Structure 1
Amino acid sequence: MEKKVSKRGAWVAAARPRTLPLALASIFLGSFLAAFYGAFEWEVLLLAALTTVFLQVLSNLANDYGDSIHGADSVEREGPSRSVQAGHISAADMRKAMILFACLSFISGVLLLAVAIDFSWQELLFFLGLGVLAIIAAITYTSGKRPYGYAGLGDISVFVFFGLVGVLGTFYLHTGYVEPALFLPAASSGFFATAVLNLNNIRDIRSDKAAGKLSIPVRIGRRAAVFYHWLLLGGGLLASAIYVLLNYRSPWQWLFLLSVPLLVINAKAVKEKETASALDPYLKQMALATLAYVITFGIGHLLAK
């Protein structure tokens, strides 16, 4: 017998709060780096975090809606069921919620720009355009006539927005400039975030294949997807190690290596756990491992100042 779900519980499930630590990781990393370079503003951190939370919830709602409409969240799906697919939230109500969070994301983003940027039309238009692109990317991942997630392009989007844009954009809003070397820790954030998506796609490989969702694991197969996962984790650590070597001040900068055991646990689980139910807990574990990396990397650099 199916467990009865309250309306509130259905909305919480659709918002997927367990994804928020991963979404916030790039904002925290960009802010830590800004403090390391001698510039940090609490208002920027708080508004950037709020905007990111709105965007992530929007993405999750759109994913629930899009996968249900396109069939990836059918009754054959092995992962947790989605609210629209299960009938707990109507498609019409989900579309209204998506519009609401798109508006909240835009308003919060405008407030962030008002606080962070001295008046410059060029900067304002650039970041407004970036914000609109982020909203469009969040909605069209699995929604619309040609969702790019179904073409296997989600990894690129996650790497760009959860890595390069999130870290470098936040750093710029704190400082007003970007250091080229910061592409390395930004890439680390992007690699780890992409690993979360890849794990999710490995878990859903059967239902995605049946629905015509050509994620990378569907395209290359499970065995190669596991190797790809290891490359993502190794690439994230390597990029951070190179950054530290190029900007070395103190042994404290290696503090991020404390997160390595968490990444090893995740790498082993992806290889050994083959059922969706066994893999599912490691999505949250990978998101928290990414946050642990960010916190240890950030604190280590602040101690090295």
Structure 2
Amino acid sequence: MNRNLDLGTLRSFVAVADTGGMTSAANRLHLTQSTVSMQIKRLEEGMGLSLLDRNNGRGIRPTAEGEQLLGYARSMLEMNDEVWGRLTAPKFEGSLSLGVPGDIIRPHTPNILRQFNRDFPRVKVKLTTAGSLDLITGVERGQQDLVLTTEVFTEGEKLPANAERLAVEQLLWTGAVGGRAWLARPLPLAFVRWCVFRQPTISALEQAGISWFDAVDSESHEPTSVTTAADFAVRAEMPSFDYPGLEAIDHRGELPPLPKCSINLYVTEGPNRKLAQELAVYVRRAFRG
């Protein structure tokens, strides 16, 4: 006899596994805690398995059997959401231009584009990488519909009406894994020419009396990443974005503290605004977890 898994129950199971609690899962799904608890109970009784460990002192965690189900559940829910997205989404058509600085194109942009294309298959998205100032200018001139920027954060600073702050992060000194370039004087730096972090980093070094020089002259992030990973230079980076071969430098106070950086979202005020706002939903979701 065929037996069917309920997708709503699986969604609750995944939410509990992700959040570590019934109440947190209920809040995420806009359900009551008792509803989620009852769904999980029925799922465990129906399968004859204990799927969640409630007594490990670290919140609710999947059991070995629960881990197996979790992988299947994620796949089933993703397929379900893709079907609904493709068949029932508003019939938006057209094209959008999305601008992202090279230093934050990973890790979120691929998932943003994949999920948006799943739900809005008739919309074409053109991706542009450029410096934050150029991207802001592009929005102002109607050349970009939606852009992300990295900007030095100033407490109390107000953004334009068409912009919002997605995150604020403390910049870190980064270098090659186990590297020693940060000990060199003058200090070798690896920044693209238009990087907004470059001038604040230089100012921090000069205030600390540390000499420096540009070890890279490029408009692309790839040469700066390669140079840094080769232990030829160091650079300032946001902690949420990882690059192979790089790590935060444990400089023990021998390098000056760096300023905070904000990741901002700008949306066009032109005729494409409604469609751009749809894409903005996916961007917010990615950056705010």
Specify the TM-score bucket, using the shorter chain as the normaliser: under 0.3
User: Under a length normalisation based on structure 1, what TM-score does the superposition of the two structures give?
Assistant: 0.21
Which structure is higher in helix share? Answer: 1
Work out which structure has the larger RCO, using CA pairs closer than 8 Å and 6 or more positions apart in sequence: 1
TM-score by length of 2: 0.22
Determine which structure has more spread, i.e. the larger CA radius of gyration: 2
Structure with a larger share of its residues in strand: 2
